[in-house]
């Protein structure tokens, strides 16, 4: 008998597909990065002092750090964008509450992926993506009906 090994269908979520199907690959890589791991080593500060682990580890908030560390910022943006595709495609299949919406503001919308998916399905919606300047400068996608503000 010959043994054959193959990836299970669930593995598709952990591949970088290079298309618009989404992936958890970058989110997984972000969670395994030295930067995030160092924040986890400050869990005691979170529990005993109520501080967030990232600020305890780096002396600044996560989004301040992302603005200064371009490679980590790019990984963070990819992780949020690629994982949002999988989640929002499922949400948009079952949630019908956007039909009566005319303007939708996404505060902290990053690359605009979520708004892009919503405005693609509901082209009558004007999407406003509001985020920090460095997040919007990171190759924000020009989605139909979406404008970007910092």
pLDDT tens for 32-83 read 999 999 999 999 989 999 888 999 999 999 999 999 999 999 999 999 999 9
Residue 82 contacts by C-beta under 8 Å, 6 or more apart in sequence? 22, 23, 24, 25, 26, 27
Q: Which CATH superfamily is domain 1-95 in?
A: Vaccinia Virus protein VP39 (3.40.50.150)
Q: Where are the domains of the chain?
A: 1-95, 100-150
Tell me if the pTM is above 0.75: yes
Q: Check residue 20 and give its pLDDT.
A: 75
Is 25 within 8 Å of 80 (Cβ atoms)?
no
Token duo for residue 6: 């193959």
The span from the CA of 79 to the CA of 31, in Å, is 10
DSSP H helices in 9-132: 25-31, 34-40, 43-49, 53-58, 62-68, 70-94, 113-121
pLDDT at 116 over 80: yes
pLDDT at 96 over 70: yes
Q: Check residue 88 and give its pLDDT.
A: 96
């Amino acid at each position: 008998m010959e043994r054959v090994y193959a990836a299970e269908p669930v593995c598709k979520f952990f591949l970088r597909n290079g298309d618009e199907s989404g992936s958890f690959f970058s989110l997984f890589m972000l969670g395994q990065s030295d930067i995030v791991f160092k924040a986890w080593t400050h869990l005691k500060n979170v529990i005993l002092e109520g501080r967030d682990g990232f600020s305890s580890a780096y002396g600044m908030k996560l989004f301040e750090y992302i603005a200064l560390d371009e490679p980590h910022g790019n990984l963070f943006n990819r992780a949020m964008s690629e994982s949002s595709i999988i989640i929002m495609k499922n949400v948009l299949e079952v949630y019908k509450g956007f039909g009566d919406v005319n303007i939708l503001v996404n505060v902290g919308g990053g690359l605009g992926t979520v708004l892009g998916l919503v405005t693609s399905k509901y082209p009558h919606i004007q999407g406003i993506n509001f985020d920090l300047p460095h997040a919007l400068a990171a190759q924000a996608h020009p989605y139909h009906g979406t404008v970007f503000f910092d």
